[in-house]
Structure 1
Amino acid sequence: IAASLALASTDLTGNGLQEQRFLQRDRASVYTKPDNTKNQSALLNLTGSRTVSDSLTISGDAFWRTLKTKTLNGDLNDESLTESIYQPSAGERAALAAAGYTGFPTAGETAANTPFPSWRCIANGLLNSEPGEKCNGLLNRSSIQQREGGLSGQAAWTTPVPAGESRLVLGGGYVVSDVKFNQSSQYGYLTPDRGVVGISGPGAFADGTQDSENADDARVTLSGTTSTASLYISEHLPLTSTLTLTASTRYDRTKVETRDALNPGGGPGSLDGDHTFSRLNPALSLVWKASDAVTAYAGYTEGSRAPSVIELGCADPENPCRLPNAMAGDPPLNQVVTKTVEAGLRGNVVGWRWSAGLFRADNHDDILFVADDLASYGYFKNFGRTRRQGAELSADGALGPIDLGFHYTYLDATYETAEEVGGAGNSSNDTGPGFEGDIEISPGDRIPLIPQHVLKANAGWAITPKFSLNGDMIAISGVTARGNENGEHKADGVYYLGPGKTKGYAVFNLGAEYRPTERVKIALQVNNLFDKDYETAAQLGATGFTDSGAFIARPFSGPIVDGERPVRSATFYAPGAPRSGWVSVRYSF
């Protein structure tokens, strides 16, 4: 019997993406603020096993996990970018004066003389009129409470057979989780330091009550429960002294319930829902030991995943949501089914372990987030098919006192079904430069944010029995930006300021370990040894700032299409971590 308990508490600041122009000037800069996420988690795990007889072993485990997350994010309100948000009208000036405000302009406020406008935002909050259009900032708050617990157990029998010993395993499990989610959005205005100041008044919050045809209700008060019952059986059977067959099947039945406290009862916009998913997933593999140095393997597996509460709560194209924190009404999604084929060779030659393999995994009804015509909004939907295929090579061994390892993965991740999705921020959209049109995804287009090449290398040197050094390198090719699903985005320096992908990079890490006694270990670790600047992800989107850092609405006077003006878009990056280091001391009792 073994038990473990893990507790964690984090307070993270600056988690958002940064626009390329400002990231180039200052790697520590943020696009807007505040940007804070606080997490508290606990995990209790208990495992046990018992040998009943020479041929029977039983085992099981139980766990309980909790997670609490709170976020406060100051964001740019994209809806303000095409609006007239500078000079207050007569009615707005009257509302400001009645509320005791002074110093607001009576005439002449423009983008040229007001880099950070606020008066129309404040006034529309007081009037509960159009703060969603006149405020260039949002304060988004959310809280999530998750609890999950589960039990599983299995029995394994071994039986002599002519070619060796077979192993039959029967098992099952049950996991249940619940989540409570709350979100609100408060209108505000941007300050010169990119902060967002929230406004007050009847229209301060995005609750759908504003006197505007585009009034947005961003409130969410949702609870959900997911339960999964599983049964599985597997047989490991030696067919000959060199050939082994493994066959298995697993049945999962998942029930997902969501309850909307703001809009109960189902219907348009409601998050209420009851969904059940079930599937039997088989697997089959063969392993052939060709010699003491070479083993060949081949296999086929199927797996499935039921949609999560969040995915089911944001699946209606008529009610798109803002990720990661918002949801909307939920037509049912299908569960994802993955079918995988793999084959390869592995072995051991003069002390070196090596392997080479090929794989192909096709996801049917893959669940992906699709951008909506409304900037920063979207919804989850099932795609017909996506594919991830490639090759893996690895080798581990030693040269004298130095241990070495090399691992390479080639991964071709593509869409295999044609699809039309929102193209805001993409230069190839079908409406025109600067507008929020659609783009066409074709079979063979690459899935964003998945690198095609990954190379890892590591080395360790035991200089003395008590002192050792270790180092590793990871090199990753560039990835396609989210929003460039068709791979056709190109910067033009006018409407579009950045490329549609990231650059590749390599990062080196170095560590040292010293053991003064058998019970004490002192370790030093330095990550990103050469302080390499790199980006791990990218996204296309509208930008609200000039080269000098001033906010600007309506950056172009025209053309006007369906009452909308074009906006400027850029590439937003997730910067990689700079050089960091720490020292740790461990004592073993």
Structure 2
Amino acid sequence: MRGNRALLLTSALVLPGVIMIGGADAATHRHPVKARHASHANTMLAQSASPSPAAPVASSAQTAQMQAPTKTQPVLPAPQSETIDVIGITPLMGTGISREKVPSSVQVLTDKDLLRYGHPDLIQAMDGQLAGVNMDSASGNPYQPTMIMNGFEASPLQGTPQGIAVYMNGVRFNQAFGDTVNWDMIPTIAIKKMEVQTANPVYGLNALGGSVNMRMKDGFNTGNLVEADLSGGQYGQIQANGQFSHKWRDWSVYVAAREEHQEGWRDLQSTDIQNLYSDLGYKHGNKEFHANLVMANSTLNGPGTSPIQLLQADPAAQFTAPNAIGNKYLMFDLKQGIDITPTLHFQALEYYSYFQQLVSNGNAPNDSPCNDGTGLLCQSPGNYSTSRNGATIPAYLGSNPYSYNELDDQTTNTNSYGATFQEISTHKLFGLKNNEVAGFSFNGSQTMFSATSYIGGVTPLTRSFIGPGVVLDESGNVPVRVGIQNNYYGIYGSDTLSLTDRLSLTVAGRINIADVNLSDKMGGDLTGNHHYTHFNPSAGLTYRFTNWLSGFASFAENNRAPTPAELSCASPQDSCSLANFFVGDPNLRQVITHTYEIGLRGHVNIGRGALVYEGSIYRTNAQDDIAFINSVTLNRAFFQNVGDTRRQGAKLHLAYNTDWWTVYLNYTFNDATYRTTYVESGGSNPQADANGNLTIRPGDRLAGIPKDKLTGGADFRLTPKLTFGANFVLQSGQYLYGDEANLTPELPGFFTVNLHGTYQITKNLQFFAQVSNIGNRRYYTYGTFSPANSVYLWQVPNATNPRAYSPAMPISGYGGLRLTF
């Protein structure tokens, strides 16, 4: 999101080279270290462009490059993002090549994009300003979305097969146990630039659909700054952000903090988040050093999906409770860089992180009173429920099955550590310009995972779990306590050779080695050692046809190893509850993808403005894809290789910018299908066959992925102090999770519009506001099936429809003040 000075040019499907909007381009190939330092002081400029009077004070480096506005003609600001002609080619900072030489789709969000609607918001920026991306919310909490990019997912929820590699300042951010991505732990205000790339093997495991690389702020790239904002609005929303940056001589310091609370628009929905980020930097001569500290704490209550008949009676209702996740995160890293010669640079990164997650999840019970007159609880007829030491469990709440509820608790404690070393050379090869990178990475972790399930009672209206809470022993499913050690090694290299002034060739490759060792601490069958190795190559070409049009084409191979969560829940005999329980089972095969992409990008001056454009088409074929599929046991599922899948589609970005206004448009088409036949249990899907199964056939679409998405918006300068903007999201329907055979109607598509604006009260004080979903449309971003007939719904006592949705936020608004010095 872009706010303040940067009201123009969405999401940075950016121009080749250094773009002067309304001027000439200067697509120069620079030394990566010098380019990185130079980019901190440059901005995209427009002819006659000026900083917005409605914006906070720019840094001195930015201000020096801006022209003063005239008194007679107010102008809209040009995109005041930092120059982004250099794009990272590895997760580490300072490794990059000219944008026009990258042979694949690259999108960039800057710190100004994240401020577009007021306070910093990474999730809304990704959803509204990136082509090829959409977000859903299975948990029902707005800070726990699943990001779907090019048909692959990055989610905070266990049970989601992860296919996107995420990095923060070069540190792998996918958590070790399930490769999950916890967006709530990211200090959004401290993000300087976020690069989103299509599949590139250099980014390591999980980069099947691409990578997200967040480059954070420091005192050198931010300058002297003191800033704080406070905002509040509907549903008990209140947020405070602050950042401090200072540079003196060879030293710099940057500190940012965030506090956020939201009560939510549904029953038992709430959010509490605290983030802290700091950077201490030193730069002298040919050396640079940074020490970073990240701290995060959150408590997220998400009501999840609710049966549609329940939502029709009460749009705020939740199905079963509690649904709470508590996260704690600590990360410390050191980065060093040194210029060995004018054309040779060396970088190193070392880090340690600690992650703790507590999950408390109320579910419809698998246990109910037996019908054989024994007065006991059963999992199925003749299969008695047992507690510790095999003791049977009395039906202590009577014979009414609706009197019972289940609570699933899990704890994950992970200590992670690692290092990356790489060299960068810009020495000419055969007399041609050349940029070469080679490196080694290690990511290790030790995790202790435990899980326990309880049978208890239920409150009538909210269906929340209450005591007595008898521990369940489900024949190996629960309880669980397992120790896990992950060791991931990578050896990689990339080389971009300028064959001519217009034509460039890039070749890259990476060897991924993964060791996953499990040790059952309760004497069960979890113990096992798993080893995976794969070499991933890539190659691509870029060609500059004219000053306003470039083309690219590429091929990339990527892999991901099964996670500990997947390896320990991989058979129908011992399936697990979503995000909770795991047992030892056969090996899963690693997923291998082959991605082909071709596209065009460029910019051209038209009239008094500039048109920016990028479009691409892609196809990714996945071999031995992993899915979380239904088990014959109700509310249980397991991971399985399901054969081949295919994601193919197109992405298009257009933006037109003038001194007075800007308009942008992003279109995404994604056709994600299965290419192999397999059979799974139908679960609660009403279209299951007579045996209770679903047969998935080639051509059936993957669940949860809409085919079409269109986003866009416009911003206007109404007066020198007042700005106003609007944006929209139009998204087609998608098949429900649990309907991989495409037998039931799709989750309905939706259209929603948001408004935003700013008013500069004084030079240092700004007011900002946003109104979301102005039409108060009732729509849903996620759908699945729930056993509505296994839980008594007081609001809808005769409910029979198992379709369950996660409602999006109704109309809402907030406003705030930002103080900048």
Equivalent position of 2:635 in the other structure: 376
Confirm whether residue 73 of structure 1 aligns to residue 333 of structure 2: no
Contact residue 187 and residue 198 of structure 1 kept, 8 A: no
Residues 110-160 of structure 1: per-residue CA shift (max 9 Å, x gap): xxxxxxxxxx99xxx996256899563112222222232322122111123
Q: How is 1:145-544 mapped onto 2 (pairs within 5 angstroms)?
A: 145-160=413-428, 164-200=432-468, 204-208=470-474, 217-264=477-524, 270-350=525-605, 351-431=610-690, 437-464=692-719, 466-489=721-744, 500-515=745-760, 522-544=767-789
1:273 & 1:477 partners in 2: Cα distance? Answer: 43
Q: Which amino acid aligns with 1:523?
A: F
The alpha-carbon deviation at position 430 of structure 1 amounts to: 2.2
405-414 or 472-481, larger mean C-alpha shift: 472-481
The alpha-carbon deviation at position 546 of structure 1 amounts to: 6.3
The alpha-carbon deviation at position 240 of structure 1 amounts to: 1.8
1:353 & 1:411 partners in 2: Cα distance? Answer: 23
1:64 & 1:521 partners in 2: Cα distance? Answer: 38
The alpha-carbon deviation at position 343 of structure 1 amounts to: 0.5
The alpha-carbon deviation at position 7 of structure 1 amounts to: 2.7
User: TM-score, with normalisation over the residues of structure 1?
Assistant: 0.80
Confirm whether residue 139 of structure 1 aligns to residue 407 of structure 2: yes
Equivalent position of 1:25 in the other structure: 313
Q: 1:223 to 1:417 in 2, by over 3 A?
A: same
The alpha-carbon deviation at position 464 of structure 1 amounts to: 5.0
The alpha-carbon deviation at position 532 of structure 1 amounts to: 2.3
The alpha-carbon deviation at position 392 of structure 1 amounts to: 0.9
**Number of matched pairs:** 516
User: TM-score, with normalisation over the residues of structure 2?
Assistant: 0.59
Contact residue 223 and residue 260 of structure 1 kept, 8 A: yes
Q: Which amino acid aligns with 1:177?
A: S
Equivalent position of 1:61 in the other structure: 349
Contact residue 725 and residue 755 of structure 2 kept, 8 A: yes
2:325 & 2:412 partners in 1: Cα distance? Answer: 11
1:384 & 1:7 partners in 2: Cα distance? Answer: 40
SS in 1 for 2:484: strand
Residues 274-331 of structure 1: per-residue CA shift (max 9 Å, x gap): 1111111000001111111211111000011111110111012221111111112221
Q: Which amino acid aligns with 2:472?
A: A
Per chain length, whose mean CA-contact separation is higher, i.e. which structure has more relative contact order (CA < 8 Å, sep 6+)?
2
What 5-or-longer segments of structure 2 have no aligned partner?
Answer: 1-288, 378-384
Q: 1:47 to 1:207 in 2, by over 3 A?
A: same
Residues 360-380 of structure 1: per-residue CA shift (max 9 Å, x gap): 001111111110111111110
2:476 & 2:801 partners in 1: Cα distance? Answer: 23
2:780 & 2:557 partners in 1: Cα distance? Answer: 34
Contact residue 163 and residue 238 of structure 1 kept, 8 A: no
Contact residue 417 and residue 445 of structure 2 kept, 8 A: yes
Residues 6-48 of structure 1: per-residue CA shift (max 9 Å, x gap): 3332222233211101112222111122222222223334444
SS in 2 for 1:472: strand
The alpha-carbon deviation at position 197 of structure 1 amounts to: 4.6
Q: Which amino acid aligns with 1:38?
A: G
1:53 & 1:579 partners in 2: Cα distance? Answer: 58
The alpha-carbon deviation at position 416 of structure 1 amounts to: 0.5
Residues 309-357 of structure 1: per-residue CA shift (max 9 Å, x gap): 1011101222111111111222111111111001111121222111121
1:78 & 1:24 partners in 2: Cα distance? Answer: 26
Equivalent position of 2:149 in the other structure: none
Q: 1:404 to 1:2 in 2, by over 3 A?
A: farther
Match of residue 14, structure 1, among 302, 313, 318: 302
Contact residue 461 and residue 794 of structure 2 kept, 8 A: no
User: Which structure: larger Rg?
Assistant: 1
1:527 & 1:368 partners in 2: Cα distance? Answer: 34
Equivalent position of 2:805 in the other structure: 573
Residues 534-558 of structure 1: per-residue CA shift (max 9 Å, x gap): 1111112321356754768xx9xxx
Residues 250-280 of structure 1: per-residue CA shift (max 9 Å, x gap): 111111111211234xxxxx21111111111
Contact residue 78 and residue 542 of structure 1 kept, 8 A: no
Q: Provide the identity percentage.
A: 27
Q: Which amino acid aligns with 1:227?
A: N
Q: Which amino acid aligns with 1:371?
A: N
Give the root-mean-square deviation of aligned CA atoms.
3.1
1:331 & 1:371 partners in 2: Cα distance? Answer: 17
Q: 1:517 to 1:221 in 2, by over 3 A?
A: farther
The alpha-carbon deviation at position 515 of structure 1 amounts to: 4.9
Contact residue 163 and residue 240 of structure 1 kept, 8 A: no
Q: Which amino acid aligns with 1:260?
A: D
Contact residue 309 and residue 801 of structure 2 kept, 8 A: no
Contact residue 477 and residue 575 of structure 2 kept, 8 A: no
Q: 1:470 to 1:227 in 2, by over 3 A?
A: farther
Q: Which amino acid aligns with 1:221?
A: R
Contact residue 350 and residue 419 of structure 2 kept, 8 A: yes
Equivalent position of 1:34 in the other structure: 322
Contact residue 387 and residue 415 of structure 1 kept, 8 A: yes
What 5-or-longer segments of structure 1 have no aligned partner?
Answer: 96-119, 209-214, 265-269, 490-499, 556-567
SS in 2 for 1:384: coil
Q: Which amino acid aligns with 2:810?
A: P
The alpha-carbon deviation at position 510 of structure 1 amounts to: 2.7
2:429 & 2:767 partners in 1: Cα distance? Answer: 50
The alpha-carbon deviation at position 511 of structure 1 amounts to: 2.7
Contact residue 307 and residue 786 of structure 2 kept, 8 A: no
